[in-house]
Structure 1
Amino acid sequence: MIDMISEILKKYFGDLDVQFELDRQYINNKIEIDPELCIMCDRCLEVCPVTAISSNFPEVPHIDDKCVYCNTCVETCPVDAIKITKTRVKVERGNLIIENRLKSENLEYNRQKCVMCLVCSKNCPFGAISESDDKISFDMDKCVLCGHCEKICPAKAIKLE
């Protein structure tokens, strides 16, 4: 069954490398630099907090797998050549739901699910997550809602919408 659904998704969303779990949801991110718009100013390279972007002159810059989809490069690009698409695939009551979003808007933290492993805190590229009083705290002045913490949380205690 999963293979059949996977093939259907690949047919219509092949360039997104869609994956999902039947009883949950899967979030897939895609980042693209439009070669028609990019002026190769390299501002995106300078602001990337995880150095995921490298110069590829005379082609557009290359974005590697280290990218955490934080939106910093998108906001810095003077010609809007960079686009991040977040695809959420989930199954609810037997219905397959596919949502495309450009940016997350809300962060939900479920303290009951959290196992205090601190994987999120240790891997946040913006230093927005810390431990205090045996709980996780989010500094929303630093958080850019990139979704990296949601993706790596083994207990699924963090959710971005």
Structure 2
Amino acid sequence: MKRPELKQFNGFEKIEDYPVGTYYEAGFLTVTNDSYRSFDYFIDKDKCKNCLECYLYCPDGTIEKQDSYVSINQDFCKGCGICQKICSFDAIERRSK
């Protein structure tokens, strides 16, 4: 069986050749994670100060910025709880499904 040639990557020659960032924007998941979570996370809009810490730390990009608040896209949230742990205002609640 003939295999494709594997070229060795020796790094970039110039700093301009490095990629600027990731290829996809946050929130690019196409398969929902809703089926295996045992908890849902919700943002209490009265406690939320729009500091966007949860938005920055969410590994899956499921926290969405709206005009005056943020929300969690439950279809793609995997339930890791990072947003709840990082929130300084206790604005993110975990509820059983």
Shorter chain as denominator, the TM-score bin is: 0.5 to 0.7
Task: Report what 1:17 is aligned to.
Answer: none
Tell me the distance in 2 between the aligned counterparts of 1:104 and 1:122.
Answer: 24
Q: Structure 2: which 5+ residue stretches go unaligned?
A: 1-32
Question: Hey, which of these two has a bigger chunk of strand by percent?
Answer: 1
Q: Does 1:134 align with 2:68?
A: yes
Tell me the distance in 1 between the aligned counterparts of 2:43 and 2:86.
Answer: 14
- 1:127 maps to a residue whose letter is G
Q: TM-score, normalised by structure 2?
A: 0.56
**Dislocated runs of 4+, deviation >2 Å:** none
Q: TM-score, normalised by structure 1?
A: 0.35
Q: Does 1:144 align with 2:78?
A: yes
Q: CA RMSD in A?
A: 2.0
Displacement after TM superposition at 1:105 (Å): 1.6
| 1:63-142 superposed matches below 5 A | 104-142=38-76
* CA distances 1:37-61 after superposition (whole Å, capped 9, x unpaired): xxxxxxxxxxxxxxxxxxxxxxxxx
| Higher RCO structure (Cα 8 Å, ≥6 apart) | 2
Displacement after TM superposition at 1:104 (Å): 4.1
Larger Rg: 2
- 2:42 maps to a residue whose letter is E
The sequence identity of aligned pairs, in percent, is 36
Tell me the distance in 1 between the aligned counterparts of 2:78 and 2:52.
Answer: 19
Task: Report what 1:54 is aligned to.
Answer: none
Q: Structure 1: which 5+ residue stretches go unaligned?
A: 1-71, 76-102
